[in-house]
Amino acid sequence: MLDLSSNLLDGHGVLAAGARLPSPAAGYLVFGQASPPPFDLDVLRAYATRFFSSQIGLSAEKTGTRPEHDLAFVLVHREGEKGTVPVEARAATDDDRALAVRAEGAEPAGLGLLAARCPRVFVVHADSAHDRPALLVASILAGTSLGPIVSLDGKEIFGVKSARARLEPRG
């Protein structure tokens, strides 16, 4: 997991020039449309509150021009769950799209084709495959960016409705 104390963000709260981001061992790729801009806190907060009864914030305020390739440490809180989740925003690559197609199967029909049309991805870092704060952040990003979620291991692709079901209290 990325360390909050590392010097990955500059004085404007955006990814520092030349910063190297490690690939996460677990997490999600969230495909997104061109708008809203990455890490639009007003949009994220409204969606998180309305659809997930959650509070969301960023560890550092983002000021000035926002780059296409950025990093945020997303703070999330929902009854019984809270955490700080590193999220990288960047342009989608052919490898990202191929991962979505593999996750959907031999004949992509719905979510794989949607992923292919998305110009952006959010790389949501997780401590494990069962990291609920990371899934919550991925769900909020998918809902605001109108794109599917793909596990980084490429085993599954799903949308916000399925993510919400996974986040329902167990018991």
> What does the block give as tokens for 120?
């952006």
Peptide bond into 36 cis (omega under 30): yes
- Rounded CA gap, 39 and 27, in Å? 18
Residue 48 confidence (pLDDT):
96
pLDDT in tens, the chain (171 residues): 666 556 888 888 889 888 888 888 899 999 998 888 889 999 999 999 999 999 999 999 888 888 889 999 999 999 888 999 999 999 999 999 999 988 988 666 689 889 989 999 999 999 988 899 999 999 999 999 999 999 999 999 999 999 999 988 765
**CB 84 within 8 Å of CB 59:** yes
Residue 36 confidence (pLDDT):
80
Residue 106 confidence (pLDDT):
63
Residue 47 confidence (pLDDT):
96
**87-120 burial by CB neighbour count: b if 16+ within 10 A, else e?**
bbbbebeeebbebbbebbeeebeebbebbbebeb
Classify the C-alpha dihedral 116-117-121-124 as positive or negative. Answer: negative
pTM of the model: 0.92
Task: List alpha helices for 34-80, DSSP H.
Answer: 41-52
Residue 6 confidence (pLDDT):
64
Backbone angles phi, psi at 50, to 5 degrees: -70, -45
Task: List alpha helices for the chain, DSSP H.
Answer: 41-52, 94-104, 111-117, 132-145, 160-167
| Beta-bridge partners for 28 | 124, 151
